[in-house]
């Protein structure tokens, strides 16, 4: 079950990328990673250090991706 949880955000990312675009996939990746982190905390009462680092990196770089898209659309480019 833990291995499935580790790969779930990746599967969600590629599914959203195939169906929509990179920005929807990035948003889905951030949400899926957060959900897996919360589920891990609720189920096991422990969050692995690597999972927490992964979430922080996904949130920061995914947020930058979405933010840069927003700024580009606001500037008219």
Residue 14 phi/psi, 5-degree rounding, is -70, -35
Total domains present in the chain: 1
| pLDDT at residue 36, rounded to an integer | 95
Read off the DSSP letter of residue 20. Answer: S
**Along the 77 residues of the chain, how does pLDDT read in single tens digits?**
788 889 999 999 999 999 999 999 999 999 999 999 999 999 999 999 999 999 999 999 999 999 987 766 666 65
Whole-number pLDDT of residue 69: 75
Q: pTM of the prediction?
A: 0.87
C-alpha–C-alpha distance, residues 21 and 9, integer Å:
16
Whole-number Å distance between alpha carbons of 24 and 40:
24
| Residue 8, domain extent | 2-75
Cα–Cα dist 56/59, whole Å:
5
Instruction: Name 62's Cβ contacts closer than 8 Å, sequence gap at least 6.
Output: 26, 27, 29, 30
User: What is the model's pLDDT at position 55?
Assistant: 96
């Amino acid at each position: 079950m833990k291995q499935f949880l580790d790969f779930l955000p990746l599967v969600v990312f590629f599914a959203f990328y195939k169906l929509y675009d990179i920005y929807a996939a990035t948003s889905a990746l951030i949400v899926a990673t957060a959900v897996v982190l919360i589920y891990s905390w609720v189920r096991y009462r422990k969050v692995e250090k690597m999972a927490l680092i992964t979430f922080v990196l996904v949130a920061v770089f995914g947020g930058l991706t979405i933010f840069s898209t927003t700024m580009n659309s606001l500037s008219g480019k």
